[in-house]
């Protein structure tokens, strides 16, 4: 595999990946953040250049020091020929199979190669899927292929009439000081590793919230290193009041203004969340969200 560390190469890859949206969104979003300061210290590998068949995004070596940290040890993959991914994954040293890790992609056909490669390394694999939701604007990227790198910290949030209409509530940026609150209410969190991860996400990437009358967030939403929107939550007192939908609409408006790519995954059985996301202007994509969680024999959870 070839490491792409030249800014011109990364921009060329970014533009090329736009033509494969939505299947390439995981990798496309990761390259966006790499091109915009690379706050998570990720790196890009391709099987060949400039013509490539496979792209793998992974954290740089200095990031993956904790063998149990599957929030950090995440690989994001896109392949123009997923059926051939098995050969690459089995024969290269790109993936550290000695760690607990996650492999994410939007191509179900990657699964056969990932599972076979993991089996050859005596690694247990758990596969999970979710519905991928996107907007028309994101799909148009493969035609317009335009993106400018904005900064949440520099630009703040979109102006609107919300504060005048509901004076006891205020929309704004989610502060990193609320990382513990997000962690305590995140289904995949509630531990020290997830707290560190959440702090990095909120501190480096766009994250929005609705502040209630008490001055604390009553609903919030964040972004991950691949531009996936998630960790969305509203406190029980304010559920079914439209607060999450209001946050989502304004958050989406900001991302669109800055041409920051974004998408959402929701478990298929979570019909209420799917309906809420669709009400905010999203629709189900032609492909699904996939994750393969991998455990070496000595790190398999009980």
The 10s digit of each residue's pLDDT in 254-266 is 999 998 999 999 9
Mean of pLDDT values over 15-21: 95
Q: What pLDDT sits at residue 88? A: 80
Residue with more model confidence, 150 or 58 = 58
Half-sphere exposure of residue 196: CA atoms within 13 angstroms, side-chain side = 9
Residue 223 has pLDDT above 50, yes or no: yes
Of the listed ranges 20-29, 142-151, 263-272, the least confidently predicted one is 142-151
Question: How confident is the model at residue 153, as a pLDDT?
Answer: 43
Average pLDDT, the chain: 89
pLDDT of residue 144: 55
pLDDT at 20: 95
Per-residue pLDDT for 202 more than 60?
yes
Supply the pLDDT for residue 156: 45
Under DSSP, is residue 182 helix (H, G, I), strand (E, B) or coil?
helix
Minimum mean pLDDT range among 16-30, 53-67, 152-166, 189-203 = 152-166
Given this model, what pLDDT does residue 145 score?
A: 53
- Using the predicted structure, report yes or no on whether residue 6 has a pLDDT greater than 60: yes
Q: pLDDT at residue 167 above 90?
A: no
Residue 142 has pLDDT above 70, yes or no: no
DSSP 46-105: ESSSSS-SEEEEEE-GGG---TT-TTTSEEEEEESSGGGHHHHHHHSS-S-TTS-EEEEE
Whether residue 150 is predicted with pLDDT greater than 70 in this model: the reply is: no
Is residue 148 over pLDDT 80? no
pLDDT of residue 272: 86
245 has a pLDDT exceeding 60: yes
pLDDT tier, 50 (very low <50, low <70, confident <90, very high otherwise): very high
* Cβ(83)–Cβ(43) below 8 Å: no
Confidence category of residue 146, pLDDT binned at 50, 70, 90: low
Residues 6+ apart with CB under 8 A from 57: 26, 27, 30, 31, 34, 42, 43, 44, 45, 75, 76, 77, 226
**Which pLDDT score is estimated for 76?**
98
Using a pLDDT cut of 90, give the percent of the chain over it.
74
Distance in angstroms (rounded) separating the CA atoms of residues 93 and 91: 7
pLDDT band at 133 (very low <50, low <70, confident <90, very high): very high
Partner residues linked to 4 by β-bridges: 44
Q: Is the pLDDT of residue 280 over 80?
A: yes
């Amino acid at each position: 595999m070839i490491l792409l560390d030249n800014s011109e190469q990364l921009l060329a890859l970014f533009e090329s990946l736009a033509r494969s949206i939505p299947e390439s969104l995981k990798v496309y979003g990761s390259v966006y953040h790499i091109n915009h300061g690379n706050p998570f210290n990720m790196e890009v590998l391709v099987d060949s250049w400039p013509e490539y068949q496979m792209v793998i995004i992974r954290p740089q070596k200095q990031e993956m020091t904790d063998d149990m940290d599957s929030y950090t040890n995440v690989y994001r993959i896109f392949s123009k020929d997923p059926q051939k991914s098995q050969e690459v994954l089995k024969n290269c040293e790109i993936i550290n199979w000695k760690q607990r890790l996650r492999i994410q992609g939007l191509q179900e056909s990657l699964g056969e190669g990932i599972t076979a490669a993991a089996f050859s390394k005596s690694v247990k694999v758990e596969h999970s899927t979710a519905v991928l939701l996107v907007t028309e604007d994101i799909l148009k990227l493969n035609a317009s292929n335009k993106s400018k790198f904005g900064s949440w910290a520099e630009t703040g949030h979109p102006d609107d009439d919300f504060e005048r209409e509901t004076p006891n509530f205020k929309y704004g940026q989610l502060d990193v000081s609320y990382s513990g609150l997000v962690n305590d209410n995140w289904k995949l969190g509630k531990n020290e590793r997830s707290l560190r991860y959440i702090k990095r996400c909120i501190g480096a990437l766009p994250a929005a919230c609705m502040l209630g009358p008490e001055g604390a967030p009553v609903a919030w939403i964040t972004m991950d290193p691949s531009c996936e929107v998630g960790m969305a939550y509203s406190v029980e007192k304010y559920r079914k009041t439209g607060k999450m939908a209001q946050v989502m609409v304004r958050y989406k408006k900001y991302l669109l203004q800055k041409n920051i790519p974004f998408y959402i995954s929701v478990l298929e059985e979570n019909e209420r969340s799917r309906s809420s996301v669709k009400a905010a202007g999203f629709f189900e994509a032609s492909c699904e969200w996939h994750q393969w969680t991998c455990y070496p024999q000595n790190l398999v959870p009980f």
